[in-house]
Structure 1
Amino acid sequence: MKNKNILNSNLYTALRYLYYFLTTNLLFLLVNMLFFVVFFSVPLLVENVLIYSLALIPTGPALAALFFSMGVLVRQKSLVPLKDFFRGYKDNLKVSLVFWVIQLTLSVIVLVDAFYFYTKGSVLVAIIFALVFVLLAIFSMIGFPMLAIFEITVANIYRSAVVIMWRYFRKQLGNLLTIIAFAVIFYAFPSEMFLFFFSLIAFYIMRSNQTMFIDLESQFSQINGSYERGTHDD
C-alpha cells in the first residue's frame, strides 16, 4: 500500500517527467553534436553561414524525433525515451530531412538578405525579410508536430500549414511567443535550462496543439492518411 501511494504521489510523477525531459533533451543534443562542435569552434559570422547550414542539417530528423517523443508523452503520460526517440527518428527520417533542408535553405536566404539590406540602410526591406523568416519559423513549428502525429508528405505539410495558419493563427502566434519566452528564460539561466530546454518546448507545443490535431484529423484524413503516428504499440 505504501509503495502504491509513492507511485501515485505528485512527487513521483514530477520526478518521472523530469527524467523524461532530461533524457529526451540529452538525446536531442547528442544527435545535434555536429552543430555544437561548429558553434564552439567556428565564429558566428555571415561568411561562415554555409558551414553553419551544413552543421544544422541533422537537426531536422532530431526535431521530428523530439516532437514524436513528446507527442507520445502527452497522449500516454509515459515514455520510453531511447526507444520512442529513435522510433520517431527512423520513421520520419526521409520526410523530416527533406522538409528541414527546404526550411533551412529558405531561412538562410531570407536572413542573409535581411542582414544585407539592413547594412545598406534599407531597414524596411530588412524588416520584410525578417517577417518572412518568422513565417518560416511558424511553418516549422507546425510542420514538425504534424510529422509526429500523421503520415504526411512534404507537399502536404505545406498545404496543411497554410490552412492551420489561416484557421489557428492566434494559437500558433501564441506558441511562437511562448517559445520566445522560453528563450528569454534560457538566456537568464543557461546552465539550468540547457538540460531541459528543447524537450520542454516540444512538450508545450504538442500539448497546446492536441485539440487542434483532433479537430483536423477527420478533415485532413484524405491528405494526411488515416494512420496516426505514436498511438499504436509496436
Structure 2
Amino acid sequence: MERYDNRDFTENKLYTIVNYIYWILISSVLFIVSNALFVFVLFVSLFSIKEQLLPFHIVFIALLVVSIPMGPSFCALYSVMRKIVLDKQVSVVKEFFIGYRQNFKQALLAWVLILFLIALFTWNYYIIVFHEFASFLIFPLYMFISLLLCTAFYVFPLISQYYMRLIDVFRISLYFTLKHFNTTIMILIVFVLGGYLFTLFPTITFVFIPGAMALIVMLLVTKLFGKVQLEHKKEDTQISKKMVSDHD
C-alpha cells in the first residue's frame, strides 16, 4: 500500500508539473501570436542593429509604435496566471481572451501612457548626450525611467485583477514600488534574468519566457495585493475584484 501511495504521489506531482508546463507554453504562444507584428519587427531590429543597417532612433521608434497593442496582451497573460495561482486550474485559451476583451481599453490606455513617458525620457536623454548639454540631468532621467519601469511591473497585474480608475492604478502601483521595495527588486530580477536568458537561448526560451515570467510575477504580487486590500477599505481605493472570470 505504501509503495502504491508513493507511486500515486509521484504521478500526481508529475501531472501537476506537466500541467504547469502546458499552461506556460500555451499562454506564451497566445501572447506571442497576439503581438506577432512586434515580434517580427523585434527580430528585424536586432538584425539591423547587429549589421548596423539602421540608426538606433529609427529602430527605437519602430519598436514603440508596433508595441502599442501589447498592453491588453499583458493583462490577458496575467489573467491566465491569476487563475492558475488562485484555482490551480485554467482553460488557457478561454481565460486569455476573456482577460484580453475585459481589460482592452484600460490596458491600452495605460500602456500608451507608459510608452509615451518612456519615449519622452529617452528623447530628452538623447538630446542631452548628443548636444552635451545639461549632463547633470542624466542621473535624474535614469531615476525617472527606472521608477516608471518598476511602477509598470504592478500596473497590468492590478488591471487584470481589479476594477479601478486608471489614476488609481498608477497611484497604487507607485505605492507598491516604493513601499514593498523587496518585491519590486525580485520582480526586476525576474525580468532581467528573463532578458538575459533570451539573449543566450532566443529560440528555445522565446516560447516559454512570457508565461514563466508572468507566473512568477503573479505569485509575488497576489499575496501582496490581498494584504493591501485588507489594509485599505474599498471606498478609499475604489477597488472591486473582478469576479466575471471566476464564474466561467
Q: What is the TM-score of this pair, normalised by structure 1?
A: 0.89
**Deviation digits for residues 112-162 of structure 1, max 9, x if unmatched?**
222332334465433322221111111110111101111122111112123
Give 1:9 deviation, angstroms: 2.2
Match of 1:154 in 2: 166
Match of 1:52 in 2: 63
Q: Work out which of the two has the higher radius of gyration on C-alpha atoms and give 1 or 2.
A: 2
Task: Show structure 1 runs of 5+ residues with no match.
Answer: none
* CA distance, structure 2, for counterparts of residue 32 and residue 60 of structure 1: 10
**Deviation digits for residues 63-97 of structure 1, max 9, x if unmatched?**
11111111111111111110000010011001101
* CA distance, structure 1, for counterparts of residue 14 and residue 135 of structure 2: 51
User: Which sits farther off after the overlay, 14-23 or 187-196?
Assistant: 187-196
Query: Counterparts in 2 of 1:26-45, with a 5 A limit?
Result: 26-41=29-44, 43=48, 45=56
Q: Which of 72, 76, 95 is the equivalent residue of 1:65?
A: 76
C-alpha change, 1:76 and 1:37, in structure 2 (3 Å) is: same
Q: Which of 195, 205, 214 is the equivalent residue of 1:183?
A: 195
Letter in 1 for 2:101: K
Give 1:6 deviation, angstroms: 8.0
What secondary structure, in the 3-state scheme, does the structure 2 residue paired with 1:105 have?
helix
Match of 1:16 in 2: 19
Match of 2:234 in 1: 221
C-alpha change, 1:109 and 1:220, in structure 2 (3 Å) is: farther
Give 1:231 deviation, angstroms: 6.2
Give 1:215 deviation, angstroms: 0.9
CA RMSD of aligned residues (A): 2.3
**Deviation digits for residues 178-216 of structure 1, max 9, x if unmatched?**
221222222222222111101111111110112211111
1:111–1:130 contact (8 Å) kept in structure 2:
no
2:79–2:160 contact (8 Å) kept in structure 1:
yes
2:95–2:245 contact (8 Å) kept in structure 1:
no
Task: Show structure 2 runs of 5+ residues with no match.
Answer: 50-55
Give 1:163 deviation, angstroms: 2.2
Match of 2:246 in 1: 232
2:154–2:173 contact (8 Å) kept in structure 1:
yes
What secondary structure, in the 3-state scheme, does the structure 2 residue paired with 1:79 have?
coil
Match of 1:110 in 2: 121
Give 1:22 deviation, angstroms: 0.4
- Aligned-residue sequence identity (percent) comes to 22
* CA distance, structure 2, for counterparts of residue 194 and residue 160 of structure 1: 31
Q: Which of 18, 23, 28 is the equivalent residue of 1:25?
A: 28
Q: What is the TM-score of this pair, normalised by structure 2?
A: 0.85
Letter in 2 for 1:146: L
